[in-house]
Amino acid sequence: MKPQVAFFDFTSCEGCQLNKLNFENDLLDILKHVDIVEFREAMDDKADHYDIAFIEGSITSPSCVERIHDIRRRSDVLVALGSCAVNGGVNAMKNLHPIDEVRETVYGEDKYLFATLPAMAVSSVVKVDYEVRGCPMTQQDFLKLLIALVLGKQPPKYGSPVCVECKLKENECLYNRGMVCLGPITRGGCDAVCPSFGQFCTGCRGILDNPNIDGMLEVMTSHGISLDEAKKRMLLYNSNEVQL
Amino acid sequence: MECFSLLRSDVPALIDHLGDFGEVIAPHGKGDVSYSFEAVQDSCDVVLDYNRTLLPLKKMFLPPVEKLMGFSLKNESYEQVDVAITSRVFFGVHSYEMQSILRLDHSMLTGSAESNYFKRRQSSRFVGISFEPDEFHFSESVGIVIEEMEGFDLFLNEVDGDFQLYVLTENGQEMLNGFDKINITEPEIVEGRHFKKKIRYHYNRLPRVFQYAYHSEVWADVASRCVGCGACTLTCPTCFCFDVQDEVEVTAEDGIRQRSWDSCMLSTFAEVAGGENFREKTINRTRHRLYRKFKYITDEEGLPWCVGCGRCTAFCPAGISMPDIVNELIQEDEKAQYHRTVRV
Ligand code: SF4
Ligand code: SF4
Ligand code: SF4
Ligand code: SF4
């Protein structure tokens, strides 16, 4: 029997889900390997058991916590999709402010009607087996993981910075164009798509293991931005990962 | 050795002429302030004055990413990629770059030759060009002067804006047959081109410095600034490490095996099965990089494995300078020697 897979979304912009629906050319190939039993954007079936559950979005409320536990209980393999799910992503910027202030800003007088938690990675609440990084995640990356799981192989792991792919493409480094780029400490795997189009890396795939944060801040400030700005750039996607 | 004069304005005609001997590859402008070796479409686009290309000429023999074979899981079969041997002329190559290719030849062809490299390397002709050293070049300190002509078939030495063209091999001779824009001349020594960056010791003293530098405090200082991006090694013309990976297509039936450049500055480089990492810290990796250039291979081959192109320094976002590190090690070594002598 083909593996039963399901997709769920939590706090996110649903950009990753939409990216999956854009598969067009590959969708039929994918459906040869798996049965999609739940897909919020596309259908409304429910099942008791999933071979693979794909989770998009971060965990931001008590009801999210309950729901993710329930999904985990029914799933053999659980995969976090996209930066919100993997490390909290941009949502986690709210964790830099007192939670009361955040509630007040968003809900005003009604703040007591909405329970909220700091924005958390899925892995902060339940065990996550695999991850697909990026904001949004790319189809290519998602397909690589899916094929690896279907074949029973280890999905690719990305332990090198964005600079590696950038260098291999022989891009002119954006630091030479007066820009400040997070490529050196950002986890690669995106084929350095942003620098290749002249846009500095904002760190959407997360920070590498054991980064030299002080060294990176020094690199950024010595290329013309303030320490405050450098920290903000670093935190954009990584508030849960970097302590500044 | 014959020497001819050649006007700068006639260089495009020479490049066009060289096209008879194969695809001409030459430096071109890239981005705002950079250069890269590309196949010549229009000889007028070729840049004659450049500091260094982003990637070394190595990329033409050992591509950054290279498909090695295709395989089919369904049929349990594979097909190796057959690299075609084509004639190519590499034009406008600096002396340190040529020296890096000769070192790379040694690394890739000694013992059992790396066949893809060998095929791409065959049928290559090289036309060198002189350059004005910038603040990063230091090749003279590793024994490579601007006019070092080893490995070249032809060499263009700039004299007052125009060129002197040296003919160095029979191939070079052949490449000039029928080209009439040159006149025989007396070779001149060019004065006034100086290296701004230098290593303080002659390179043959460096292995000894490195012998005692393993526990130097310099490494910790470098490691505190290094952000581990790998730029230094990925742009180095004598680095040759690569990684091999298999990728299966979405059909789950076919796939490819490809090889891509790797770098010992990346934290994952020395990770092995079981999760062990034998160069876990940045300090281990920084040190390793310099030992690879000035000690390990040098002990065996008698030559520094750094050609002083300055790429690792020019492209390091943290401004970490290879010759500065070596000079700091020298200084530390001198201090240590002084103390040893004084005590005696
Ligand atoms: S542009 Fe960014 S990713 Fe590319 S090499 Fe420079 S710092 Fe690294
Ligand atoms: S370059 Fe940086 S911001 Fe752009 S996709 Fe890659 S990791 Fe994300
Ligand atoms: S170590 Fe640096 S200067 Fe030496 S050859 Fe490599 S990139 Fe060039
Ligand atoms: S280029 Fe500089 S910062 Fe990057 S790994 Fe090399 S020494 Fe470290």
Query: Who has greater pLDDT, A182 or A152?
Result: A182
Answer yes or no: do B136 and B207 share one domain. no
**Residue type for position B193:** R
Answer yes or no: do B96 and B40 share one domain. yes
Answer yes or no: do B218 and B312 share one domain. yes
Answer yes or no: do B284 and B140 share one domain. no
**Residue B197 within a domain:** no
DSSP annotation of B219: H
Q: What is the ipTM of this complex?
A: 0.94
Contacts of B246 (CB under 8 A, 6+ apart): B71, B255, B256, B257
CA angle B4, B9, B10 (to 5 degrees): 50
- Set out the domains of chain A in order of their start, with CATH numbers: 4-151 (3.40.50.700), 162-235 (no CATH)
* Smallest Cα distance from A78 to chain B, Å: 20
Torsions phi, psi for B226 (to 5 deg): -70, 130
pLDDT of A42 over the 50 cut: no
Report how far residue B71's alpha carbon sits from residue B80's, in angstroms, rounded to the nearest whole number: 9
Residues A103/A97, Cβ–Cβ less than 8 Å: no
Report how far residue B142's alpha carbon sits from residue B146's, in angstroms, rounded to the nearest whole number: 12
- Examine the fold and report which residue of B136, B154, B184 is the final residue of a domain before the chain moves on: B184
pLDDT of A231 over the 50 cut: yes
User: Between chains, do B59 and A170 touch, taking CB under 8 Å as contact?
Assistant: yes
Answer yes or no: do B312 and B173 share one domain. no
- Residue A41 has what pLDDT? 45
**Residue type for position B144:** I
Instruction: Name which of A25-39, A107-121, B29-43 the model is least confident about.
Output: A25-39
pLDDT of A20 over the 70 cut: no
pLDDT of A47 over the 80 cut: no
Tokens of A118: 């700091």
Report how far residue B274's alpha carbon sits from residue A178's, in angstroms, rounded to the nearest whole number: 42
Report how far residue B27's alpha carbon sits from residue B57's, in angstroms, rounded to the nearest whole number: 10
**Residue B122 within a domain:** yes
User: Between chains, do B31 and A156 touch, taking CB under 8 Å as contact?
Assistant: no
Averaged pLDDT, A200-206: 97
Residues B313/B136, Cβ–Cβ less than 8 Å: yes
- Residue A182 has what pLDDT? 98
Mean pLDDT of chain A: 90
Instruction: Name which of A17-31, A91-105, A134-148 the model is least confident about.
Output: A17-31
**Residue B258 within a domain:** no
Domain total for chain B? 2
Considering Cα of A162, then A165, then A167, then A172, what sign does the dihedral take? negative
CA neighbor of A76 nearest in space, from A127, A9, A144? A127
Answer yes or no: do B283 and B313 share one domain. yes
Tokens of B78: 């594979």
Strands B162-167 and B2-6: antiparallel
Report how far residue B23's alpha carbon sits from residue B116's, in angstroms, rounded to the nearest whole number: 18
Report how far residue A145's alpha carbon sits from residue A142's, in angstroms, rounded to the nearest whole number: 5
- ω into residue A136 within 30 of 0, thus cis? yes
Answer yes or no: do B281 and B153 share one domain. no
**Residue B176 within a domain:** yes
Give the E-state strand segments of B160-312 in sequence order. Answer: 162-167, 183-184, 242-248, 254-261
Report how far residue B281's alpha carbon sits from residue B296's, in angstroms, rounded to the nearest whole number: 20
Give A208's Cβ-side CA count (13 Å radius): 26
- Residue A153 has what pLDDT? 85
- Examine the fold and report which residue of B156, B184, B212 is the final residue of a domain before the chain moves on: B184
- Residue B278 has what pLDDT? 83
- Cα→Cα distances A241→A89, A90, A235, Å: 10, 12, 8
User: Residue B309: which domain range?
Assistant: 203-242+263-343
Choose which residue among B218, B221, B225, B229 to substitute to test ligand 4 binding: the one with the highest number of ligand atoms within 8 A of its C-beta: B229
Query: Would you give per-residue pLDDT tens digits along chain B (344 residues)?
Result: 899 999 999 999 999 999 999 999 999 999 999 999 999 999 999 999 999 999 999 999 999 999 999 999 889 999 999 999 999 999 999 999 999 999 999 999 988 999 999 999 999 999 999 999 999 999 999 999 999 999 999 999 999 999 999 999 999 999 999 999 999 999 999 999 999 999 999 998 999 999 999 999 999 999 999 999 999 999 999 999 999 999 888 778 899 999 999 988 888 887 888 888 888 888 889 999 999 998 888 888 889 999 999 999 999 999 999 999 999 999 999 998 888 777 65
For residue B236, the ligand closest to its alpha carbon is 3
Answer yes or no: do B116 and B220 share one domain. no
Report how far residue B151's alpha carbon sits from residue B128's, in angstroms, rounded to the nearest whole number: 9
Averaged pLDDT, A164-191: 96
For B19-43, b where at least 16 C-beta lie within 10 A, e where not — what string?
A: eebbebbbbbebbeebbbbbebeeb
Answer yes or no: do B138 and B25 share one domain. yes
Answer yes or no: do B236 and B313 share one domain. yes
**Residue B94 within a domain:** yes
pLDDT of A114 over the 70 cut: yes
**Residue B71 within a domain:** no
User: Between chains, do B227 and A156 touch, taking CB under 8 Å as contact?
Assistant: no
**Residue B74 within a domain:** no
Strands A50-56 and A4-9: parallel
Answer yes or no: do B105 and B172 share one domain. yes
Averaged pLDDT, A109-118: 86
**Residue B98 within a domain:** yes
Answer yes or no: do B236 and B144 share one domain. no
Residues of A in contact with B51 (CB under 8 A): none
* Smallest Cα distance from A116 to chain B, Å: 36
Report how far residue B256's alpha carbon sits from residue B248's, in angstroms, rounded to the nearest whole number: 7
DSSP annotation of B152: -
Nearest CA in chain B to A186: B229
